[in-house]
């Protein structure tokens, strides 16, 4: 039984339609019992497929302003204002501003100050 079979299966109490070209067959009066183990196996398979479909490459992970603020040690509001004022790099996903790991690295590196060579 596939996922499509489950999606197309009639609900309890529903009467199945019999095609007109099969006059001798009577529709079943009750739905067959569904095996609980089968449902558990199907649920595990769906969860496994969902986990595989998630992006595994950390370079492709995008951060919301709140997540970027946590990574930078700043507030979400600071990140949003910096994006609005175009002080930090960002990208749009749809209409939402997002930051890539390289944007976070740029912010961290651009704020780095090296000691003056003649400082004691």
Tokens read off for 105: 């690295």
pLDDT tens across 76-117, in order? 999 999 999 999 999 999 999 999 999 999 999 998 888 888
pLDDT tens across 34-79, in order? 777 888 888 888 888 777 666 667 677 899 999 999 999 999 999 9
pTM passes above 0.75? no
- The answer to whether the beta carbons of residues 97 and 83 sit under 8 Å apart is yes
């Amino acid at each position: 039984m596939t996922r499509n079979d489950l999606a197309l299966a009639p609900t309890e109490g529903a009467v199945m339609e019999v095609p007109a070209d099969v006059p001798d067959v009577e529709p079943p009066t009750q739905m067959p019992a569904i095996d609980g183990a089968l449902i558990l196996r199907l649920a595990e398979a769906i969860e496994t497929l969902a986990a595989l479909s998630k992006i595994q490459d950390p370079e492709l992970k995008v951060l919301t302003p709140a997540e970027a603020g946590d990574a930078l040690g700043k507030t979400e509001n600071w990140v949003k204002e910096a994006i609005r004022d175009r002080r930090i790099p960002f990208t749009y996903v749809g209409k939402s501003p997002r930051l890539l790991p390289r944007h976070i690295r740029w912010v961290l590196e651009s704020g780095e100050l090296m000691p003056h060579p003649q400082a004691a």
